[in-house]
Structure 1
Amino acid sequence: MQNTIPARSEADPRFTWATTDLFESDEAWRAELTRVRGMLDELKSYEGRLCESAATLLGYLRLYDDLMRDGDRLISYAFRKSDEDTRNAVYQELSAQSRNLLVDLDKASAFSTPELLAVSDERFENFFREEEGLEHYRLALTRVRRKKDHTLSAECEALLAAAGQLSQAPDEIFSMLNDADMTYPDAVDSEGKKHPVTHGTFIPLMMSPDRTLRESTFRSLYGVYGQYRNTSAAVLTSQMQQLQFFANARRYPSALHAALDHTEVPVEIYHNLIQAVHDNFPAMHRYVRLRKKLLGVDKLHYYDLYTPIVADEDMKVTFEEGKELARKALAPMGENYLKILNEGFDNRWLDVYENKGKRSGAYSAGVYGVHPFVLLNYTDTLDDVFTLVHEMGHALHSYLSNHTQSVTYAGYVIFVAEVASTCNEALLMQYLLGQTKEPRRRAYLINHFLEQFRTTLYRQTMFAEFELWCSEQIRKGEALTAEALCAKYADLNRQYYGEDIEPDPEIALEWARIPHFYYNFYVYQYATGFASAIALSQRILREGKPAVDDYIRFLSGGCSTDPVSLLRGAGVDISTPAPISSALKMFDQLIGEMEELTAE
């Protein structure tokens, strides 16, 4: 872990991603942007004649694929460079131009859906007989035509596409406020030493055994969010309003229906998740009581939730050690999987350490025809190793889909993305547990596993429930004031965590710092993905090659079929609550083992 946070210019190139694999320079990027913008005019020239013949339709679809591939490289370069230092005005401009390109692409192609829907079923089928190359696009075209009830006239579609730029504003404002403008007072430990509080240091500081430091960090961060609570409420309100606007425009019953229909996921899966977690509140409340007991505190606070509950076990893991752990833990995935993993490690797919202005958190971004890029903010904790394998799970999912599918079908939906990442995490945990029988170390690892359940299945479901509530308030015409948001968020925390934790007023502000509330019903997929990953990892370890082969086919599937069917092919039926309930049963069993291991 770095002792000080360097400027981007001081970062060791070995631990930064190779954006030159996308473009050698900003000048090369600008030249490509000019060329791609010329392709937009060519795309627009198909308006009014898209379905005049099968050959014309095929020409349009191939041009659109080329635009998606080349535009992806442009957008990835701009966003990756901007995320290196969010304060850099040059890359803020490139990112803005990339967003404009996306909007302009939507505008230039807005005519296509209404024209495709105007074709009769008989003529549609004749196209495939007349032009053999169109067969490749049958599924993509069928997906367009199934949305007939939610598609408007060409003029209205063009208007909605133009409004797309406005729809990005809440996320952009939140990002600037959260990543670039907000700064936090230093936290102070029990010896009076100061510690810088940033998005990258917050969780490591909250994991500290020094309770004074944890409390100071907690109050430092949320004190600043409290100062901006009304602004944050206005930004979140704008996000929910724009989602509702587009849902109404496309004649969906709700923003939830609109979001899940886009990924071919039934809304029942969202509601099943929340209900299954509610049914298993007793296990979470049991875990909170155990944490309170093992920490030996009279009152458990929210700033006590991240620190390990097994004393004297400080698992520091350097980045090199983390990579080696990843290789060993993922060995059951087979030689080819490990070969790709090492290719990423050895060829600068990753941006490893925090620097001033760098985007917080972690992510993986696949780029068709290049390779994935992975952002980390590595601080030498065991959590960081889990983040490493998590993001490399995304990266290898992208790699395998991009190398197996055409650009038309390579892009998988988020619903299955979180399965690939959390399956890797589950394999890492099973590997670590298999390496130790020593009670204290085993208890430490089980606590870490329990925390994955808490933060992924329970906490992300709580986020999902909060997001749904926000959306419903807007749908009903209710105001999302800071007071209303804080009251609802505090109430959900009481339900999920129970009565054995103090209702710290600061936790009611946590909603204001969650970027995923700007991702359009995204967070529930962490929970469904985690439950699916538990089932898949168990099958891989139990059955070996047959399970691995099914899983690799799943990772290579892109969007070649709907996500629920892709998962079913790998061995998990997420259309039922069973995977959620099964995972939470494991959670309860792990709590029981933890109680035995830590019994006095």
Structure 2
Amino acid sequence: MSIQTRAEQLEQDTWDLTSLFADAADWEAATEVMKQRIAEAPGLKGSLEKGKDSFLATMRWYEETGILLERIYNWAFLGYASDASDNTNVRRYSLSASLLSQLSAAMAFFDPELLGIADEIIDGYLNDEDFAPYRVFIEKARRFKAHVLSEGEERLLALQSEVASTPRSTFSDLTNVDFDFGEIDGKPLTQSSLSSFLMQEDRAVRERAYKQFYAVYESSKHAIARLYEGQVKQDIFQAKARGYESCREMAMFPDNVPVSVYDNLIKAVHDALPTLHRYYRMRAKLLGLEKLSHWDVYVPLVKGVTSITPYEEAVSMIGAALAPLGSEYVQTITDGLTKDRWVDRYENKGKRSGAFSSGTFTSKPYILLNYKEDVLRDVFTVAHEGGHSMHSYYSAKNNPYFNYDYTIFEAEVASTFNEQLLAKYMIDHATDDRMKAYIIGKQIDDIVATLFRQTMFAEYEMIIHREAEAGVPITLELLRSEYRKLLELYFGDAVSFAEESDLEGLRIPHFYSPFYVYKYATGLSASIALSKKVLNGTEQDRQSYLAFLRSGGSLYPIESLRKAGVDMQKEEPVRDALSTFSSLLDQAGSLLS
């Protein structure tokens, strides 16, 4: 199982980026246009204050420029993500990031000027139908009034933004390109393939893969700790510069999500830890172990069930599972995942690990995968990323440019919703009780991974940022000790940890997007509630969910989800999801007894 180079990938297995640019020459030409627009930007200073027509003309210019830069950046980013070992891709990605920073600096006057206009004047503009495409954007922008600085200060922050991404990009290059994890029994061990090895029934293989993988992190642990320290310091700098009380408040402010939602999530999960510990005791018993090691917690609960699902078969299964959403939804997603080439399917050298969805207002909603047909989780990953892309598809079709970019808080609902429907379909169509138990076990493990594990990550981020904000030095020892405390708290006494186990805290890429991961947990909680409504409710429940997808970024996430049928300011959705976890444990125990 050698890993292919990018050139060896079959064209039909890769994404078709022509909805962004026809080719590299087309992209290069667009960057020249972008440079001209950046040069024009300072001349727009004062235009917002010259009356309605001038204000409107500037908004239209900003919209056109934003759409162009979004396309330029996304094309370069997707090339970089597909092969970061190609220096041409690195150059283009770096150039696109530089253009983004330059435009931000050139438009530094915009926010202070917008916020300096009297409210009654702005209100008058917003009542004009010509301003309809910009109404939500302007209203949301004005909410930031207390955190927007002077033009000169905004320009400095914009110029600094390119440097601010160094910890994230360095971590990505180090772990995805430079690190060589070797092989296990002739098969390459990588960031992407580790999950496959940890699901092997042979415990010795799991242990070897685990120790061999973390030995590489051990060799660079001080450097990675410094990178994360740099990220945390950058977060603190931004929060202080903009006048937020904390990094967490700054991260949650744009979504208008109260900090209480974060705190309620952690509290509810802590209350449910006895149920999680019951799960690990059950897992140990099923695996015939007195106590689990960290490399034992991902292997499927049911042994002896193999699952080989070729990509095309996975898409067909996903289409059938999503039938409750209607024929238009199903046709669009299955075409996108196959013949319309939204997807870059398989691993190659230099390719980013994991999976993501990333498109633009005018392009296909692209998906990066590292699909492996012998990993059942990867079928769910296709459904998950397909949910993101369908959210983007509906949002771009039904909103103006400034409204189409929805929040991650909402995005994680659309993705895990699809996983819920897929799990229900696979359980209903299981050929025997053993296969049904296998899939229920997979669903249990997904809740562990998304609700419990991501909450543990969220709690870790909160602790480290609080320590740093209190002036405590962020050392390797602090990072490891705090992460080990959480491992022991969440896993309980059924799991023992090796010396290197707390190095896991150094390998989570989402920590470089601060206070992001909690949204996975809240998203799953909301999607469990909404999927039950769609599966068991009325046509109105289905239409309410599709309306949520179409709403894009036109509402704040708490409001859009409330209209869809779930109130995330209340504790009930999270506690109901945790109750579902307990029920699934009971079902698995009954089937396996």
Does TM-score exceed 0.5, indicating one fold? yes
Q: Is the 8 A contact 2:391 2:414 kept in 1?
A: yes
Q: Is the 8 A contact 1:419 1:532 kept in 2?
A: yes
Give 1:125's aligned residue: 123
Q: CA deviation at 1:592?
A: 1.2
Q: CA deviation at 1:65?
A: 0.9
1:12 maps to which of 10, 13, 24: 10
Give 1:468's aligned residue: 462
What letter corresponds to residue 242 of structure 1 in structure 2?
Q
Q: Is the 8 A contact 1:43 1:64 kept in 2?
A: no
d(CA) in 2 for partners of 1:138 and 1:318? Answer: 46
Give 2:298's aligned residue: 306
User: Secondary structure, in 3 states, of the residue corresponding to 1:346?
Assistant: coil
d(CA) in 1 for partners of 2:150 and 2:307? Answer: 59
d(CA) in 2 for partners of 1:384 and 1:20? Answer: 26
Structure 1 residue 218 corresponds to structure 2 residue 210: yes
Give 1:540's aligned residue: 534
Q: Could you state the TM-score of these two structures normalised by the residue count of structure 2?
A: 0.98
1:378 maps to which of 362, 371, 376: 371
1:467-508 superposed Cα distances (whole Å, 9 cap, x missing partner): 111111211111111111111111101100101101222220
2:352 maps to which of 337, 352, 359: 359
Unaligned residue ranges in structure 2 (runs of 5+): none
What letter corresponds to residue 403 of structure 2 in structure 1?
Y
What letter corresponds to residue 257 of structure 1 in structure 2?
E
Give 2:426's aligned residue: 432
Q: CA deviation at 1:343?
A: 2.5
1:591 maps to which of 582, 585, 588: 585
Q: Is the 8 A contact 1:401 1:556 kept in 2?
A: yes
Q: Is the 8 A contact 1:436 1:442 kept in 2?
A: yes
Q: CA deviation at 1:371?
A: 0.9
1:388-433 superposed Cα distances (whole Å, 9 cap, x missing partner): 0000000000000001101110100111000000000000001111
Q: Is the 8 A contact 1:54 1:134 kept in 2?
A: no
Structure 1's 136 and 320: CA in aligned 2 closer, same or farther, altered over 3 A? Answer: closer
d(CA) in 1 for partners of 2:124 and 2:543? Answer: 37
Q: CA deviation at 1:235?
A: 0.3
What letter corresponds to residue 125 of structure 1 in structure 2?
D
Q: Is the 8 A contact 1:53 1:127 kept in 2?
A: no
d(CA) in 1 for partners of 2:275 and 2:303? Answer: 23
After the TM superposition, list the runs of 4 or more consecutive aligned residues in structure 1 that deviate by more than 3 angstroms.
126-129
d(CA) in 2 for partners of 1:422 and 1:376? Answer: 16
Give 1:171's aligned residue: 168
2:284 maps to which of 288, 292, 296: 292
User: Secondary structure, in 3 states, of the residue corresponding to 2:586?
Assistant: helix
Q: Is the 8 A contact 2:316 2:334 kept in 1?
A: no
Q: CA deviation at 1:205?
A: 0.8
1:322-373 superposed Cα distances (whole Å, 9 cap, x missing partner): 0111011111110110121123021111000111111110000022112111
Q: CA deviation at 1:104?
A: 1.2
Q: CA deviation at 1:128?
A: 4.0
d(CA) in 1 for partners of 2:370 and 2:270? Answer: 33
In the TM superposition, 1:37-52 aligns within 5 A as 37-52=35-50
d(CA) in 2 for partners of 1:113 and 1:311? Answer: 58
Q: Could you state the TM-score of these two structures normalised by the residue count of structure 1?
A: 0.97
2:190 maps to which of 177, 186, 198: 198
Give 2:566's aligned residue: 572
Q: Is the 8 A contact 2:2 2:188 kept in 1?
A: no
d(CA) in 1 for partners of 2:152 and 2:27? Answer: 32
Q: CA deviation at 1:288?
A: 0.3
Give 2:548's aligned residue: 554
1:515-554 superposed Cα distances (whole Å, 9 cap, x missing partner): 0001121100000000101011110000142111111110
Give 1:146's aligned residue: 143
2:243 maps to which of 246, 251, 254: 251
What letter corresponds to residue 271 of structure 1 in structure 2?
D
Q: Is the 8 A contact 1:43 1:60 kept in 2?
A: no
Q: CA deviation at 1:559?
A: 0.9
d(CA) in 2 for partners of 1:270 and 1:84? Answer: 34
1:83-140 superposed Cα distances (whole Å, 9 cap, x missing partner): 12111100100000111111112112211111111112222233346x5412432221
What letter corresponds to residue 235 of structure 1 in structure 2?
L
Give 1:190's aligned residue: none
What letter corresponds to residue 115 of structure 1 in structure 2?
E
d(CA) in 1 for partners of 2:408 and 2:359? Answer: 13
What letter corresponds to residue 48 of structure 1 in structure 2?
G
d(CA) in 2 for partners of 1:544 and 1:564? Answer: 23
d(CA) in 2 for partners of 1:224 and 1:8? Answer: 24
User: Secondary structure, in 3 states, of the residue corresponding to 1:162?
Assistant: helix
Give 2:108's aligned residue: 110
Give 1:316's aligned residue: 308
Give 1:398's aligned residue: 392
Q: CA deviation at 1:41?
A: 2.5
User: Secondary structure, in 3 states, of the residue corresponding to 1:253?
Assistant: coil
What letter corresponds to residue 19 of structure 2 in structure 1?
D
Structure 1's 485 and 132: CA in aligned 2 closer, same or farther, altered over 3 A? Answer: same
Percent identical: 37
Q: CA deviation at 1:50?
A: 2.0
Q: CA deviation at 1:448?
A: 0.3
Give 2:230's aligned residue: 238
In the TM superposition, 1:441-452 aligns within 5 A as 441-452=435-446
1:166-210 superposed Cα distances (whole Å, 9 cap, x missing partner): 2111111111111111111323xxxxx343211121101110011
d(CA) in 2 for partners of 1:58 and 1:468? Answer: 41
Give 2:84's aligned residue: 86
What letter corresponds to residue 380 of structure 2 in structure 1?
F
Q: How many residues align?
A: 591
* Range that drifts further, 259-268 or 453-462: 259-268
User: Secondary structure, in 3 states, of the residue corresponding to 2:313?
Assistant: helix
What letter corresponds to residue 110 of structure 1 in structure 2?
A
Q: Is the 8 A contact 2:321 2:422 kept in 1?
A: yes
Q: Is the 8 A contact 1:392 1:421 kept in 2?
A: yes
1:23 maps to which of 21, 24, 30: 21
Q: Is the 8 A contact 1:332 1:544 kept in 2?
A: no
Q: CA deviation at 1:437?
A: 6.8
d(CA) in 1 for partners of 2:549 and 2:160? Answer: 34
What letter corresponds to residue 375 of structure 1 in structure 2?
L
Q: CA deviation at 1:20?
A: 2.8
Q: Is the 8 A contact 1:310 1:440 kept in 2?
A: yes
d(CA) in 2 for partners of 1:119 and 1:368? Answer: 29
d(CA) in 2 for partners of 1:437 and 1:339? Answer: 26
1:227-271 superposed Cα distances (whole Å, 9 cap, x missing partner): 111101100011011111010011100011011102221111111
Q: CA deviation at 1:374?
A: 0.4
d(CA) in 2 for partners of 1:80 and 1:120? Answer: 42
Structure 1 residue 511 corresponds to structure 2 residue 508: no
Structure 1 residue 61 corresponds to structure 2 residue 63: no
User: Secondary structure, in 3 states, of the residue corresponding to 1:498?
Assistant: helix
d(CA) in 2 for partners of 1:82 and 1:572? Answer: 38
d(CA) in 1 for partners of 2:106 and 2:48? Answer: 13
User: Secondary structure, in 3 states, of the residue corresponding to 1:364?
Assistant: strand
Give 1:277's aligned residue: 269
d(CA) in 1 for partners of 2:136 and 2:27? Answer: 33
* Range that drifts further, 466-475 or 38-47: 38-47
User: Secondary structure, in 3 states, of the residue corresponding to 1:427?
Assistant: helix
1:433-481 superposed Cα distances (whole Å, 9 cap, x missing partner): 1113722111111110100011000000001111111111211111111
CA RMSD of aligned residues (A): 1.2
User: Secondary structure, in 3 states, of the residue corresponding to 1:265?
Assistant: coil
d(CA) in 2 for partners of 1:208 and 1:247? Answer: 44
User: Secondary structure, in 3 states, of the residue corresponding to 2:292?
Assistant: coil
User: Secondary structure, in 3 states, of the residue corresponding to 2:357?
Assistant: strand
Give 2:481's aligned residue: 487
* Range that drifts further, 152-161 or 566-575: 152-161
